[in-house]
Structure 1
Amino acid sequence: MFGRSRPAANAGHGFLMRLLRDTRGNALVLMTAALIPLAGMVGGGIDVSRMYILKTRLQHACDAGALAGRKAMGGGTWSYNNNYAQAQANQFFDGNFNSGMFSSTTPVRQFTEAAGKVTGTASATIPMTLMRIFGKTDETLAVTCDAEMRLPNTDVMFVLDTTGSMADIPAGDTMTKMASLKVAVKCFYEIVARLDTDATCTTGTPSGGTGNQVQIRFGFVPYATNVNVGRLLKPEWFVDSWNYQTREALYTNQTNTSSTGPSIGRTDFVNQNPLGYYDYQGLGFGTASACSNYAVPPQTAFEGIYAEGPQVERTTTGGNPETITWATYQYGRVYAYKTRRTSGGYCWLQRQEIRGDLRRQYSQTDTTTTSTVFNGWRYAALPVNVGLLKNGTTWQDSFQWPIGANGSATTIAWKGCIEERDTVRQTSYDPIPSGAKDLDIDLVPDSAATRWKPALPDLLYARGSFVGWDDWTFQYGAVTRSASDNDYSRPYSAFCPQAARKLTSYEAGSDFDSYVNSLYPEGNTYHDIGLIWGARLMSPTGIFASENAKTATGGDIERHMIFMTDGDACAQSYDYTAYGYNWWDRRQTSADAAPTGGCTSNNFALVQQVNKRTEALCSAIKNKNISLWVVAFGTLAPETITRLTACASSGKYFTANNAAELQQTFKSIADQISQLRLTR
C-alpha cells in the first residue's frame, strides 16, 4: 500500500514544480487575480468623487438658501408675510441644486430661524456604482448652514428736520409728518438693533439684539432754526463774554437833602420897653393885706405886633450832616399885673404893657445823600458775561442780568442752543474757506474765534416797531430811549429744538422710544446747522475723536448719516439763529444792507447762505468717508430736490410722500446698512 501511494505524491509535487518553472501564461492568471482589488480602488474613487461633488453642490445650495432667507427676512420676522423668508430660502436652495444629480434622491431641506439667525439642514442619498460589489449600495450625505444679519461696527447719526411744517398732515394721511417720522425712525432701529420699540412696524416684532460682538450706536441732531448741542460741549469751548442785541439801563445821579428840624432851642424877650401901669380891673374894698396878697395873673404870653423877622445870626458847622443855627426877632408885647389899694381902701388890679423883641434861637440838621436813578435804556449790541453759565466742568441753567424793569436783575435762561463761531461772508463755500470756522467739522476750540456762544433769546430786544411778520421797521444802530418811553418789542423768532444726543448704544428699545417721542416741531428750516453738528458729533477726528475713532476694543467703525427734511430752506431776517439776530448781526450777509429772508426762493440772501453752506457741508461729510443718506419727505421745490440729490452719497437719495412710504424708505436704508455675513 505504501508503495502505491508514494508515486501519487511525487506526481503532484512534480506538477507544481514544473508549473513553477514554466512561466508560459502566468500573466493572465495574475491579472485576473488583481482585478478584484483594482475594481474596489477604482470604484471607490469614482463614488467618492461623486459624493464630494454632490455634497459640495448640496452645501452651496444650503448656503444660498440660508442667505436668501435671512436677506428676505431683513429686520422683520421669519413668519412675516406668509413665511415669505422661508419660501425664499427653499426657492434658492432648489435653484442651486439639481434634483436627481448622480441619480440621487430628492433632497430633504429645512430652514429655521432663531434670534435673527437662519439655520438650514439638507440631505440626499446617492447610489453607489462599483462599490456595490463590496456591498455598499448607497450613501446619505448631509450638510448644515446658517446665515445671520451681522452688522459691522456701525454708527448711525440721524439729522432730522423738526421744523414747524412737520406738524402738518400730508394729504390722505391720518398722522402728522412728525408722528410718521417717529414711527419710521423706531422701525429703523428695530431692523438694525434687532430690539422692539413701541411702534407698530410692517416688519413684525424683532428680538435677540445684535449681541456683544458688534458695536451699534445711534445719535440724533434735531434741527430747525438752531440746534440744541450746548450741554454736550465742554464749558471751556465757549467764550466768557459775547455781544448780544440787548439793552443796558441808563442812570443819572440825583442829590437829595433830608433835614431834621428846624427846632427852637430857646426864646428870650429882649429889648424890653415897659409902659406905665394903669387900673385894669376893680377888686373891691378890702384890707391892705388882702389887697397885697391877691393872686394876680402871671405875665401874659408874647403877643406879636409885627410878623417874625428874617433869619439873622446864621451859623453852620460844615460836614455831612451839617448843623445850622440862626435867630429871629419879632416885635411884640407882654402884659404884667399888680394890685393897688386906694386911700379909701379900694383895691385895683393894674396892668402894664411891656414892648420888646422875642428872640427865637433855631437849629436844623441837614443830611445830603446822592443816589443813582433809572433814566432810560440804551439798545445796542452789548457785551454780556456769559461765563456766569459756567460751573466748572458743568453748566448752570440760567443767570441774572440787569435788563428787567428799571434795570432790575432778571433771569436769563439757557435751553442749550448755540451761536456759531467765526464765519466769512461769501457766495460759495465749496471748498470751505479757512476763515469759516463755523463750517470746520473737526477744529477743536482754542481761541475766541473758534469758540461757541450760548444762544440767549431772553436777552434780545428788537430796535424798532414790529406789527406783524410782514410789517416792521427796525433801526440798525444803537438807540437811546427815556424812562417814559415804552420798551421795544421782542419780535424775534427764536426756536430751540430738543437736545441733540451723542452716539450711544441703546440697549433697550424703551430708551430709544423715550428720546424719539420727545421730538417736537417748531421753527424755520436751516439745513446747514443740522448737517454741521451731525458731522461734528460723529467725526472720528474731531472734538469727540476719543469716543468715535475706534470701538472700545479698537475695531473699525462704519459711519452713516441719515438726513431727513420735509422742506426747502426757510430763513427770515427776524430769526434768532446760530448766527445771531439776522437783521442786526449780519454775520453771513453784507453789513451795509438789511438781509432779505423768506422760504424756498434762492433769491433771498439768507436762503442763499443756507443753501450754499449746505452744499459745502454735504461734500465735506462725504469726504470723511461717511455714507450720507438723504430722505426728502413731501413736496419740495425742484431746485431743492436737485440740491438734495447731489448732497447724498451715490444711490442714497430717497423720497417719501406719506407715512407708509417714509417707513418703507427707512426700512430700505436699514436693510442696506445691515450687511449679511455667512457664519458657516
Structure 2
Amino acid sequence: MSNRHERTMADARAWLTALVRDTRANTIAIMAMAMIPLAGMVGGGVDISRMYIVKTRLQHACDAGALAGRKSMGAGVWSYNNYWARGVAEKFFDANISATPYGASNLTRSFSEQAGKVIGTASATVPMTLMRIFGRTSETLTVTCDAEMRLPNTDVMFVLDVTGSMGSKAVSSDSDTKIESLRTAVKCFYEIVARLDTDAMCTHGQPAGGTGDQVQIRFGFVPYNTNVNVGRLLSPDWFANEWKYQSREPVWHTETTTTYPNPIETDRDVSNNTSAWSPFEDTSTYIDWWGGCPAIPTPNPGTQVMNGTTTTSDPVINPQTGVKTWTETTVNGTLQTQYRTVKQGWGDIRCMLQKSTRTTGSSVTITYSAQPVTTTEKTFQRWRYAQVTHDISGLKDPADVHQWNDTGTVELPIGANGAMRSIPWDGCIEERATVRATNFSPIPSGAYDLNIDLVPAENDPATLWGPALPGAIFTRQATGSSNGSTNGWNSAEVFSEQNYVNNSSYSCPSESRLLQTWPTASAFEDYVDGLTPNGNTYHDIGLIWGARLISPTGLFAASNAKTPKGGDIERHLIFMTDGDTVTSAANYAAYGLPWFDRRQTSASAVPSSGDLTNQVNARFSAMCTAVKNMNITLWVISFGSGSNETTEQRLENCASANRYFVARDSATLQQTFRSIADEISQLRLTR
C-alpha cells in the first residue's frame, strides 16, 4: 500500500471518529433515516385500508347480484329470455357499487350458472399512494360469490275449490276456464318447488334436475265441492259398521209353518214271548159216531208263519219344546195250531173236531223323536221410508275387516220387493258426530267433526265416520205430492207401496291424495288434469280434511311428524277458492241430507240456505284458526271476481300474516302460485 493511500485512510478514520464523538445535529440525521420506513408503514396502512373497503364493497355487490340472479331465475333455466336472470344479476351488482369505488378502476363482474347455482366473480384495480415509493403502483382485487335455492324438508297440501263455477272463465279476456288456469298454476308451482318440467306453459322457463335426495319435498291434495273424497285413504277401522240414512226398508207379510222332518230313534224295546194255547173251539159239526170220527187234520199240531204286524201310537208334542214323540210296535212270530177229536153224548155217540192256537216269536217297540222345523214365508207388503239404520260393514273385506273389499260395493235390502241391491261407494264420506251451534270459537267439545287430530275409537261410535251412499237415499213424499221438488218432501216416516227415488243433489270430487313425493312430473300432471268442476261450495269440509291430511300429530302422525331420517318439516297449506259459500238443504253432503237430517241446524225446522251458509262460514273460520295454531303456514288465494267483500275479508282473516292473495285472472293466478313457490323455496348464499 502507498504512503498516500495510508494517509487517506487515516484521515477518514479520524473524521469518522470525530463525527461519532460530535453529538451536534444527530437528531436531524436520525430523523432523515427513519422517514423511509415510517413512510412505508403509514402509506401501507392507508392503502391496505382502501383495499379492504373496496374488497368489501365488491363482495357485497357480488352477493347482491348472485341472489338477485338466482331469484329471478326461479325454477327456470339461466338462458331463458335471452339470459334475463344474468342481466338482473349485473344490474343489482352495478346498483350496489360505483364505477370507481374509492378511486378503484377497471371494475369487472361476471355471473354464470351451474346446476341451478348462480356463480359470480368481480374485480377492481386499486391505485397505491405512498406505497408507490416501494414500487407498488396498484393492486388488483378479486372476489367470488354464489347463491342457490335450498329447500328445507317441505310438505305442501293443496286444498282446491273444484265447484261448478270453476268451469267458467275468471274474466272474459282469459282464454282458459278457471279450472284450466288452476291446473296450469299448480303445475308451474310444482316446477318451481320440485324443479322438474311439466307440460304446462309456465312463464319461468323449463327447470331440470330435481331437488335430489338430500331433501324431502311432498305434495298432497284435497279437492272439494259439496264433499271430499277421502274414504279409501282412511283405515276401515275408523268407519262404523252401521250408519243412518234417509232410506227405506221393506215391510213383510209372513206365514209360519212347522214340520217334523227326519225323526230319529230314541229307544228300542225287544221282547221274546210265547202265548198260551187258546181254548179249544169247535170247528166242525157233530158227526154220528157210528159213522166214524173224521181224521185229525195235519200237521198236528199245525203251524202257520205270521207276517210282522205294526201298530203306531198317537204322537205327543211337548208344549215347551215343541218336540214330537211316538212309538211303533211290530210283532213277528209263528202261529201254531193243534186239533183234537172229542166224543160226546150218551145216546147217540157223536164226535167233533176242536182247534187251539198259540203264537211264538218276538215284538219290537221303537220310540221316535222329531225336532220341529219352523218355516217362515215372507211376502213383500210395502216400504217404510224413514231414517233407516243400514248395515254397511259389507264394505270391509270379510277375510280381513281392516281392509276395504275389492268390489267397492255393499249389499242393502232396498231392491225391488225388498231384494238385496248392490250399492257402490265412490269414496266420499259423511262426517262424524257434531253439535248444533252458531259459535265455534272455541270449538265445542262434542264437535268431533272439527277435531283435527282425534283418532277414531271403535268403541266410540261418535268418533267414527260413515260412507256417503247416494244410492241408498230416498226422498220420501207427502201423500198426494209429486215425486219431485222439496215442496213435496215429508220429514215423517212414510209407509207406501210406491217406489220413491233420490231427488237430492250430490257431488263427489276427485279422490284426495296423502302427502307424497312426486318424483316424476307425469304422475303429478295426470292427477291435476283429472280435477273437474262440479257441485256447490262448502269451504269448511275442504279445510277440515286438508288440515287432517297434513297434521303432524293426528291421523297420519307416523308419516307426517318427521322425515324418515328424523328431519324437521316445514308445512304449508294452500287454500284456493273462486267464490262465496253456496249451500242447499237439498245437497246430500258431508252432514247427510240437511232437509231431513238437520245435524247442524234446528231439528224442528227445515234449514234455509242462509242457515247452512252461516254454519259453513263459522266452521271454516274455526278451522282457519286451528290450522294456524298448528304451526302450519296457511296461504289463501281468492281467484276471479265472484267473491263479495265479506267473503274476501273472511278469506284474508283466514290466512297467515301477509299470506293472502287475490288473483282476478289466469295470468295473475299463475303469478300468485309462483310467488308462493318462490317464498317457500328459501334463497340462500352458499359462499
TM-score (norm 2): 0.78
Note the C-alpha offset of 1:547.
2.0
Partner of 2:627: 621
2:228, 2:27 → 1: CA distance? Answer: 97
The count of residues paired between Structure 1 and Structure 2 equals 570
2:225, 2:404 → 1: CA distance? Answer: 23
Deviation string for 1:373-405 (max 9, x for gaps)? 222222222222222222333212222222212
Partner of 1:639: 646
Residue type at the aligned position of 2:643: L
Change beyond 3 A, Cα 1:369–1:625: closer
Residue type at the aligned position of 1:196: D
1:595, 1:522 → 2: CA distance? Answer: 23
Question: Please, which of 501, 524, 528 is the counterpart of residue 513 of structure 2?
Answer: 501
Note the C-alpha offset of 1:628.
1.8
Note the C-alpha offset of 1:588.
0.4
Greater shift in the superposed pair: 436-445 or 637-646: 637-646
Change beyond 3 A, Cα 1:372–1:2: closer
**Are 2:169 and 2:178, in contact at CA under 8 Å, matched by a contact in 1?**
yes
1:26, 1:624 → 2: CA distance? Answer: 83
Partner of 1:442: 453
Partner of 2:676: 669
Identity of aligned residues (%): 57
Q: Which runs of 5+ in 1 are unaligned?
A: 259-315, 322-366, 598-603
2:50, 2:391 → 1: CA distance? Answer: 85
Change beyond 3 A, Cα 1:20–1:522: same
Change beyond 3 A, Cα 1:86–1:3: closer
Partner of 1:491: 503
Question: Please, which of 389, 393, 396 is the counterpart of residue 387 of structure 1?
Answer: 393
Change beyond 3 A, Cα 1:439–1:370: closer
Partner of 1:558: 570
1:214, 1:419 → 2: CA distance? Answer: 37
| 2:428 paired with 1:417 | yes
**Are 2:217 and 2:517, in contact at CA under 8 Å, matched by a contact in 1?**
yes
Greater shift in the superposed pair: 388-397 or 368-377: 368-377
Partner of 2:179: 178
Partner of 2:411: 400
SS across alignment from 1:412: strand
Greater shift in the superposed pair: 196-205 or 84-93: 84-93
Partner of 2:466: 453
**Are 1:464 and 1:489, in contact at CA under 8 Å, matched by a contact in 2?**
no
Change beyond 3 A, Cα 1:44–1:3: closer
Residue type at the aligned position of 2:36: I
Partner of 2:26: 26
Pairwise mapping of residues 108-123 of structure 1 onto structure 2 (< 5 A)?
108-123=108-123
Residue type at the aligned position of 2:199: D
Residue type at the aligned position of 2:252: Y
2:488, 2:52 → 1: CA distance? Answer: 88
Note the C-alpha offset of 1:468.
8.4
Partner of 2:227: 226
2:199, 2:484 → 1: CA distance? Answer: 40
Note the C-alpha offset of 1:369.
6.7
SS across alignment from 1:510: helix
**Are 1:109 and 1:122, in contact at CA under 8 Å, matched by a contact in 2?**
yes
SS across alignment from 1:160: strand
SS across alignment from 2:596: helix
Note the C-alpha offset of 1:502.
1.3
SS across alignment from 1:64: helix
Change beyond 3 A, Cα 1:509–1:33: same
SS across alignment from 1:580: coil
Q: Which runs of 5+ in 2 are unaligned?
A: 260-313, 318-322, 325-372
SS across alignment from 1:109: strand
2:632, 2:649 → 1: CA distance? Answer: 20
1:161, 1:208 → 2: CA distance? Answer: 31
Note the C-alpha offset of 1:467.
5.9
| 2:17 paired with 1:17 | yes
Change beyond 3 A, Cα 1:468–1:388: closer
Note the C-alpha offset of 1:649.
2.3
Partner of 1:306: none
SS across alignment from 2:146: strand
**Are 2:161 and 2:224, in contact at CA under 8 Å, matched by a contact in 1?**
yes
**Are 2:380 and 2:417, in contact at CA under 8 Å, matched by a contact in 1?**
yes
2:593, 2:36 → 1: CA distance? Answer: 100
Note the C-alpha offset of 1:139.
1.5
TM-score (norm 1): 0.78
Change beyond 3 A, Cα 1:247–1:38: same
Pairwise mapping of residues 200-279 of structure 1 onto structure 2 (< 5 A)?
200-254=201-255
1:134, 1:251 → 2: CA distance? Answer: 118
Note the C-alpha offset of 1:526.
0.7
Note the C-alpha offset of 1:217.
1.8
Note the C-alpha offset of 1:255.
6.2
Pairwise mapping of residues 101-140 of structure 1 onto structure 2 (< 5 A)?
101-140=101-140
2:654, 2:193 → 1: CA distance? Answer: 24
2:154, 2:554 → 1: CA distance? Answer: 18
Pairwise mapping of residues 233-632 of structure 1 onto structure 2 (< 5 A)?
233-254=234-255, 370-391=376-397, 392=400, 393-396=402-405, 397-446=408-457, 447-464=460-477, 470-481=485-496, 485-597=497-609, 604-632=610-638
